[in-house]
Amino acid sequence: MKSTFIRIIALLSMAIATSISAKIVERELTLPNQLGSAVMYSPENNDAISTGVIVVHEWWGLNDYARNRAKMLAEAGHVAIAVDMYGDGQIATHPEDAMAFMQQAFANADKMTARFNAAKGFLISKGMVNPDKIYAIGYCFGGAVVLNQARLGNNLAGVASFHGSLGTQAPAKSGDIKARLLVATGGSDPMVPADQVSAFVQEMASAGVQFELLNYPDAKHSFTNPGSTEVGKKFNMPLEYNQQADEASWQALMDFIK
């Protein structure tokens, strides 16, 4: 089993583009077994063993917003890898396409787990991060993805969800979740309504899981994304950037992954 894992990781190859800025190294990655792609950001000349963070995008796909969040993590001293959970570079600009991509991904949850674990395995194999300090964060669709990885018992130091769906058809049981949890949600987000938040709290209580829940009363869906207000107006959706909630939840994340 171990040798098979090593062979799989060995197949994880660097794609063509590798760019270096003054502080951050960006590497485009190709995942093994035709699982798709990812992009990794790390501090330049990083000799110390760092914390690793897996970033999962919103339902739009692995766009500039998800990449920028991974880059911000690298600027804070972490090694971050943003994974394309749709697998073939699909990026939506219309909600109907985003919904179709998301539904297709959830219909093949095993492949999403394989992509997640390939990214995690890459971080471990390169010796850049402490295997006991690998976190996962997700936004919107990605928030649901990383919470589901926690429910599946994926061995992670912590999981953070930002305006992600909290519902599940397979509630966690006692002992399932090994990761610490941070959940940031908007109190004015109709896509993650109060009853869904309450059900999540009850689920975690029943499973004996300690977690931190941050609820920002005036925040709507996608409150961390500066481009969400314009998109919300364009498609008549309850999306709105909230700078205060964005900055507060980011600081909470920085404290969470220290």
Q: How many CB atoms lie within 10 A of CB 116?
A: 23
Number of CB atoms found within 10 A of residue 237's CB: 16
Quick check: 207 and 172 in contact, CB under 8 A? yes
Contact 219, 243 (CB under 8 A): no
| Structure tokens given for 253 | 């994340």
Domains and CATH numbers, the chain: 2-256 (3.40.50.1820)
CA distances from 253 to 135, 151, 183, 248 (A): 10, 20, 10, 9
CA distances in angstroms from 193 to 78, 97, 136, listed in the order given: 33, 23, 23
pLDDT value of position 218 = 95
| pLDDT greater than 70 at residue 22 | no
- Whether residue 19 has pLDDT greater than 60: no
* Banded model confidence at residue 194, pLDDT cuts 50, 70, 90: very high
Higher pLDDT, 210 or 199: 199
Distances (CA, A) of 29 to 26, 87, 234: 10, 12, 33
The whole-model pTM stands at 0.91
pLDDT on residue 152: 97
Q: Are strands 24-30 and 37-43 parallel, antiparallel or unpaired?
A: antiparallel
pLDDT digits over 71-128, tens only? 999 999 999 999 999 988 999 999 999 999 999 999 999 999 999 999 999 999 888 8
Tens digits of per-residue pLDDT, 117-167? 999 999 998 888 999 999 999 999 999 999 999 999 999 999 999 999 999
* pLDDT above 70: residue 10: no
User: From CA 258, how far away is CA 237, in angstroms rounded?
Assistant: 35
CA–CA distances in Å: residue 102 to residues 59, 87, 96, 241 = 6, 11, 10, 22
Q: For position 72, what pLDDT does the model report?
A: 97
Rounded to an integer, the average pLDDT of 38-48 is: 85
- Mean pLDDT of the residues in the chain: 91
Contact 65, 57 (CB under 8 A): yes
CB count within 10 Å of CB 128 equals 18
